[in-house]
Amino acid sequence: MYSYPDLKLEEKYHPRSPAGEIPIIFAMSLLTVSNLKHSYGTLIVLDGATCAVDTGEKIGLVGRNGQGKTTLMKIIIGTLEPDSGTVQLQRGTRVGYLSQHTDLDPADTLRDAAERAFSKLHDLHIQAHEIYDAMVTAQGEELDRLLSKQAKLDASIEVAGGYAIDHRIDAMLHGLGFSDDQFGLKVSVLSGGQKGRLALAKLLLEEPDLLLLDEPTNHLDIAGCQWLEDFLADEYPGTVMVVSHDRWLLDRVVDRIIEVERGVIREYPGNYHKYIDLRRERQLTDSRVYEKQQDKVRQEKQFIRRYKTGQRAKQARGRQSILDRFIRDEMVERPIELDVMRLSLPDAPKSGELVAVAKNISKSYGQTKLFIDLDLTIYRGDRIGIIGPNGVGKTTLIRTLLDEIKPDAGSVQLGSRLSIGYFQQSQDHLDLSLEVWRYLQNVIVGLDGQAKASEQQARNLAGAFLFSGMDQDKTLQDMSGGERSRAILAGLMAAAHNLLILDEPTNHFDIPSMERVEQALSREGGYEGTILLISHDRALLQAVCDKLLIFDGGGGVELFQGTLSDWMTRQHRRNTAPAPAKSLPTNRAVKKKARSESHHEPEKTNADVRRSKISLKKIESEIETIEQRIREIDDLMLDSKVYTDGARVRALQSERAKLKNDIEPLEFEWAARVDDA
């Protein structure tokens, strides 16, 4: 947590105000970034970056990896000094930053580490107890002074969280995927992913005025991602700036996008989908300008070459100077393409109809049951997403299907004519001395059916997966983890495998890379083989998979026939379904028993009197109408166009709550009529 010293509001005098008159004071934004420039050697990452953030805004910070997003955040919190430019924050602003590296005390328990978010509150409690002790013997003015101090401390304690913070800590830890039996674990024994989630929980509990999040969903499962986006969208009271590759989170949470590209900041109103539309429009405009400018440059160069000697040489030199200034000051760069390049990939040989058959397989480690008596048949062309909490056995199941791990019980049979491409989280099998294009040349199949592709085919594939220019000649060992993963995926896609097994393939990808992989794996992208995909990326799962294998964390595994949004719709309906006692009753005895167990009937209101005069058929019709509308709202809440519109979601939630209130007295009246019949 970073707390900034008092910063004065900007004071500006009206140009016609006489000297000495009271100045006009303009309240500055919560955060103002002005003309930031920063370089790493010859690499310019920020070149005049300027933006302002107002109180309560929720902003998504997007851009390719290495474009300066994390650099901008580090400059804002003051851990990195820019080459030039300024950062201003409002007086007393508390800034919290979630980096990709945690800073936790290894001696703390998990719960104690989260509770450190309230360290200020604990200090206040200590001061309050000291005052209570002093008040025992104090008299006269000294007692009055202590009483006054106690009142101020009580007010500060209330602001800092009061005396009931336990439920807030527990709710936060549960929401981010921790169970009660993990609360006593030492930080020193936690995995890297668990430490990342714990650091996020602690930061959210601190509730800084400006919350800076750098890839907060990296270590979250699907349930954790959903919980976090709901918390940030509906509950978090402060200002949020988030760097994330989770497109669903950006759609649900943010109301403005700031893009960092080639050192320049561009701002777009709305969420991520709106940004994509606006960015395409801007790129189309920039592309037209670029082509016109290129035509002008070609014409000028042609004139200069023709007349650089002879009688018009002086005119040619003058036009060369003008052209140089134009290129330096006015030329736009070629736009970075957002649309996915269409790939021409070799066809994979057709596998047998049955790709894999698992019968009654079980696997446990100690007391932990990963899967029990699982029957699974995978058919040719299946696209199965494998989801569930972290550490429940998703990768173990894959390795069991591949016969790398033996099941405790049951059997696995692989199908015929399989060519398997397996993306593992471990990359120990790679020859890191190879350049990107040469690695791809060695692993992909040539379009002419030859075992090895040509250099040009390898370079074309590298370009399609966002390796351009000199990046194609970088060795694998000189790449970031995300770049290396992208190269491996490109190779798998073009190696003519008819079964792709992908274990968290897009970890540490930026959004353009994820969209490229998503398109390549989709049916529209041309891949017709079988896919098993372990991922927490909801957009990727939705685009690629039409079946889900769902781990419940207790040894149970369910095969769901449908997409991720279909499954989420089902889960939402289950979670919001009315209790059985409130359903439209079909058994008179059950409803009569429920009435007899109630302590008393409510006093009749005007609305009750009105309902008593309505026919039974009319009451049934009203109940059915309300229930139908509730079902419509539940369906709407899972529609991406609605789900990403925070105001629409809140309105629907409010309408649903009102409908639930309206239906209860109607059901009571219906039951009374049926009983009396």
Residue 549 near residue 501 (C-beta atoms within 8 A): no
Say which amino acid occupies 670: W
Is the pLDDT confidence value at 8 over 80?
A: no
3-state SS of 554-565?
CCCEEEEECCHH
Is the pLDDT confidence value at 193 over 90?
A: no
Phi, psi angles (nearest 5°) of residue 676: -85, -10
C-alpha dihedral over 242, 247, 251, 252, to 10 degrees? -80
How large is the average pLDDT for residues 480-486? 80
pLDDT at position 138: 83
Is the pLDDT confidence value at 582 over 50?
A: no
Q: Which two tokens stand for residue 652?
A: 């629907």
Residue 566 near residue 546 (C-beta atoms within 8 A): no
Tokens 């781990």 belong to residue: 551
Strand residues in 554-661 grouped as ranges (E): 557-561
Residue 221: pLDDT band (50, 70, 90) is confident
Cα angle 505, 509, 512; round to 5: 115
pLDDT at position 646: 62
- Of 254 and 349, more confident: 254
DSSP 3-state of 513: helix
Tokens 């596998």 belong to residue: 351
Residue 535: pLDDT band (50, 70, 90) is very high
DSSP 3-state of 626: helix
C-alpha 80/C-alpha 107 separation (Å) is 29
How large is the average pLDDT for residues 319-340? 72
pLDDT at position 610: 54
Element (H, E) at 87: strand 84-89
DSSP 3-state of 348: coil
3-state SS of 130-194?
HHHHHHCCCCHHHHHHHHHHHHHHHHHHHHCCCCCCHHHHHHHHHHCCCCHHHCCCEHHHCCHHH
C-alpha dihedral over 333, 336, 339, 344, to 10 degrees? 100
pLDDT at position 23: 37
Residue 594: pLDDT band (50, 70, 90) is very low
Tens digits of residue pLDDT in 21-30: 333 333 468 9
Integer-rounded Cα radius of gyration of the chain: 31
Q: Which residues contact 397 (CB under 8 A, 6 or more apart)?
A: 363, 370, 371, 374, 386, 549, 557
Residue 104: pLDDT band (50, 70, 90) is confident
C-alpha 450/C-alpha 434 separation (Å) is 21
How large is the average pLDDT for residues 126-142? 82
Is the pLDDT confidence value at 675 over 60?
A: no
Is the pLDDT confidence value at 426 over 60?
A: yes
pLDDT at position 578: 64
- Length of the chain (residues): 677
pLDDT at position 344: 57
Is the pLDDT confidence value at 524 over 80?
A: no
- Nearest Cα to 101, choosing from 175, 208, 211, 195? 195
- Of 348 and 47, more confident: 47
Residue 10: pLDDT band (50, 70, 90) is very low
pLDDT at position 576: 72
C-alpha 3/C-alpha 91 separation (Å) is 9
Is the pLDDT confidence value at 656 over 50?
A: yes
Report the side by side order of strands in the sheet with 264-269: 2-3, 94-98, 210-214, 239-243, 58-62, 256-261, 264-269
Residue 292 near residue 299 (C-beta atoms within 8 A): no
How large is the average pLDDT for residues 448-467? 75
Is the pLDDT confidence value at 598 over 80?
A: no
Q: How do 43-53 and 31-40 pair as beta strands?
A: antiparallel
pLDDT at position 623: 85
pLDDT averaged over the chain? 81
Residue 279: pLDDT band (50, 70, 90) is confident
pLDDT at position 339: 43
- Nearest Cα to 53, choosing from 88, 82, 24? 88
- DSSP letter for each residue of 298-328: HHHHHHHHHHSSSTTHHHHHHHHHHHHHHHH
Is the pLDDT confidence value at 224 over 80?
A: yes
pLDDT at position 250: 94
Q: Which two tokens stand for residue 177?
A: 């995927």
pLDDT at position 406: 94
- Of 408 and 519, more confident: 408
DSSP 3-state of 623: helix
Is the pLDDT confidence value at 330 over 60?
A: yes
Residue 482: pLDDT band (50, 70, 90) is confident
Q: Which residues contact 171 (CB under 8 A, 6 or more apart)?
A: none
Longest CA–CA span in the chain (Å) reads 113
Q: Which residues contact 592 (CB under 8 A, 6 or more apart)?
A: 671, 675
pLDDT at position 18: 37
Lowest mean pLDDT among 269-278, 339-348, 484-493, 583-592: 583-592
Residue 99: pLDDT band (50, 70, 90) is confident
Residue 13: pLDDT band (50, 70, 90) is very low
C-alpha dihedral over 321, 324, 329, 335, to 10 degrees? 150
Tens digits of residue pLDDT in 412-423: 999 999 999 998
